[in-house]
Amino acid sequence: SAVISQKPSRDICQRGTSLTIQCQVDSQVTMMFWYRQQPGQSLTLIATANQGSEATYESGFVIDKFPISRPNLTFSTLTVSNMSPEDSSIYLCSVIGQGKETQYFGPGTRLLVL
């Protein structure tokens, strides 16, 4: 199984600022995703992080608000820009395992925006 780490694990931020979340995987993976889980809710896909090209965003999410980088097959970053209290959420990195029969999640980054 893939081991995924995320930094930071949690943060408290001021309105209007930006936070960059890092995701590191212990092996090369083709597919990496960023999800959001708002308090008491299930997971919502933000975007697919594509290596070497722009991320593919889901409806309701835009690059200006959630810029994503994926410089190689083991690392990705998600930036939450110009934050508001509505962005308070858990942000999770996810990867598909070899053979596509598994999909793993990182430990998540708990963000609180004041």
Quickly list DSSP for 29-49.
-S-EEEEEE-TT--EEEEEEE
* Nearest to another protein of 77, 109 (CB atom): 109
Give the integer Cα–Cα distance in Å for 67 and 77: 8
Q: Which tokens go with 63?
A: 């690059």
Q: What is the distance, to the nearest Å, from the Cα of residue 6 to the centroid of all Cα atoms in its chain?
A: 9
Q: Check binding of 101 to another protein (CB under 8 A).
A: yes
Binding mask 36-75 for another protein (x = CB under 8 A): -----xxxxx--x---------x-----------------
| Number of residues near another protein (by CB under 8 A) | 22
61 close to 35: Cβ distance less than 8 angstroms: no
Q: Check binding of 13 to another protein (CB under 8 A).
A: no
Give the integer Cα–Cα distance in Å for 58 and 61: 6
Q: Check binding of 108 to another protein (CB under 8 A).
A: yes
| Rounded least distance, CB 82 to another protein, Å | 26
Q: Which of 74, 76, 77, 94 binds another protein (CB under 8 A)?
A: 94
